[in-house]
Amino acid sequence: MKKVKITVMKQTVYQDLIERYENPIERPCEMKPGQVFIADGWEKPAGLCDSAWESMSAFVMTLAHGGEDIYDGWMKNKRSAMISCNDGFRPVSFLIETLDGEARNKKG
């Protein structure tokens, strides 16, 4: 099984929706662009948000087991996926890629 690198790429905050619909929460999302997590199989990497993991775990497992070209040509790097968590107030975008796929993709 391959290790999969998960990189926080971007977070958007919809303040208007937060003010209108969300009850105050003690700890909003703590993901920061540039953070990197390494997934080794089905186990959620330490520090990764539970909600984000639920959104991406099937894609991580597909890539970890050698799957590629998810959705027939969606990504330029066939061994990657761009996934956002399901937080409607402050969604975070994650780049998910197999570690061994990076070197092969850069060569070609």
pLDDT beyond 80 at 105: no
Domain ranges of the chain: 4-107
pLDDT at site 26: 82
The C-alpha atoms of residue 82 and residue 74 are separated, in whole angstroms, by 9
pTM: 0.86
Judging by beta carbons within 10 Å of its beta carbon (0-12, 13-18, 19+), is residue 24 exposed, middle or buried? Answer: exposed
Q: What's the pLDDT band for 84 if we cut at 50, 70, 90?
A: very high
